Structure 1
């Protein structure tokens, strides 16, 4: 045994050869694998993500270019006028004060005497409004000759903002001194409508809405309607201010 230990000698050349043949290639392989894991793979993922973003941007640019081409074929002035007309017909915000004043003005201008008003504002905030039309009901107690009542109904039917008559309930009928048509009293329920504007017009993935022939006919019909114009307050009539007053009027 002692003789075997004495005969054991380290051969540096053999160790060197072993390192050159096995260990150094193994280290090189390990470094290559390490570089792939920590350098090449993350870079490859970044390149793939960048490519996806570029493809998405190219798709968005293509969609916007298509929209721009469609819009360029339309008349800006006509679009503005039609948008204004439609917003006059169906306002985007629920303004119950304006509706109340408008209803009173329409009724009074036709010689119908107003005895009482009743209305329910409902949800005033446009943020809580639904995507559908939101009605604003108004009930009016009236007293009027037949001809005046008929004229009021005809004028309401051709008014902007759009107002529809839900129902008319007659109460008493009083004979006039001249013996002509009687005076009617009762209740008339009318509806005004409001609709929030859509919020998807600016999204490139959403196609432009197509204007059908029926839509064009509706616009042409509304052009013949009378826009509501508030009358100037007469002397002695109380003016109700909506909004904040200027604290520094001078």
Structure 2
């Protein structure tokens, strides 16, 4: 009996199964195709958005004076160097002291971490001797020169218009950024405060460099000396 039923409906079962398989495959392929279409549309919109942003950046950057940018970058790097500025600071102080007829001695340099851990600080201490006027001019010049230097401790001893000063100052340095922003990031305009800062950095004086005094070697005496 079952055999007769199976034989009777066999001609219907095979086409039905085939139809169902075709429908399932069609739906699967169709869903995949639809997903690809939606994905392509989303990518196209994203590319269009990026292109508009890049065009806007192009318009902004085309109006920038590259010479001014180079000067501002140079002033900023000189004010806050990317490497330890100890030798340059000592040499510049030596040069300024020579210009003012001052005697500068007893240099000491120590390095430490900046208070905000953004960069590193270098502490410089030294003794200064000369006229009161030249000494005050020297100290003022230090705070208006590159690299940026802050006087943290000053001890004056004045006698007959001559001054002996013990000075402690700090200067900072930090590594340059190693990564640039993403291409699609918008251009942020320079704020008025940033423009004022750049103007002040550009106005800093580059002092004349002098010879850095070398400390005598310490330790054992020369075994070949008589």
TM-score interval for Structure 1 and Structure 2 normalised by the shorter chain: 0.7 to 0.9
The answer to whether structure 1 residue 119 and structure 2 residue 99 are counterparts is: no
> For residues 138 and 155 of structure 2, what CA distance do their matches in structure 1 show?
15
**Structure-2 residue corresponding to 1:181:** 161
The answer to whether structure 1 residue 20 and structure 2 residue 11 are counterparts is: yes
Describe the SS at the equivalent of 2:172: strand
**Structure-2 residue corresponding to 1:193:** 172
Q: Say how many residue pairs are matched.
A: 212
Answer yes or no: is the 8 Å Cα contact 1:163–1:191 preserved in 2: yes
Change (3 A) 1:53 1:119: farther
Describe the SS at the equivalent of 2:82: coil
Q: Deviations over 1:196-245 (max 9, x none)?
A: 444664313433232233333343344443224535x69xx98xxxxxxx
Describe the SS at the equivalent of 1:94: coil
**Structure-2 residue corresponding to 1:241:** none
Change (3 A) 1:62 1:229: farther
**Structure-2 residue corresponding to 1:219:** 198
Mark the runs of 5 or more structure 2 residues left unpaired by the alignment.
215-226
> For residues 110 and 206 of structure 1, what CA distance do their matches in structure 2 show?
50
> 1:1-250 maps to which residues of 2 (within 5 A)?
15=7, 18-34=9-25, 36-37=27-28, 39-122=29-112, 132-170=118-156, 172-173=157-158, 175=159, 180-185=160-165, 187-198=166-177, 201-231=180-210
**Larger RCO of the pair (alpha carbons < 8 Å, separation 6+):** 2
> For residues 35 and 94 of structure 1, what CA distance do their matches in structure 2 show?
69
Describe the SS at the equivalent of 2:19: helix
> For residues 52 and 129 of structure 2, what CA distance do their matches in structure 1 show?
63
Change (3 A) 1:195 1:51: farther
Mark the runs of 5 or more structure 1 residues left unpaired by the alignment.
1-7, 124-128, 239-250
> For residues 33 and 4 of structure 2, what CA distance do their matches in structure 1 show?
46
Q: Deviations over 1:17-68 (max 9, x none)?
A: 623323312222124314544x444444444444433333332222222111
TM-score, normalised on structure 1? Answer: 0.67
Per-residue deviation, 1:189: 1.4
Name which one, 1 or 2, has greater alpha-carbon Rg: 1
Per-residue deviation, 1:183: 3.0
Answer yes or no: is the 8 Å Cα contact 2:94–2:209 preserved in 1: no
Answer yes or no: is the 8 Å Cα contact 1:139–1:190 preserved in 2: yes
> For residues 118 and 91 of structure 1, what CA distance do their matches in structure 2 show?
20
Answer yes or no: is the 8 Å Cα contact 2:96–2:209 preserved in 1: no
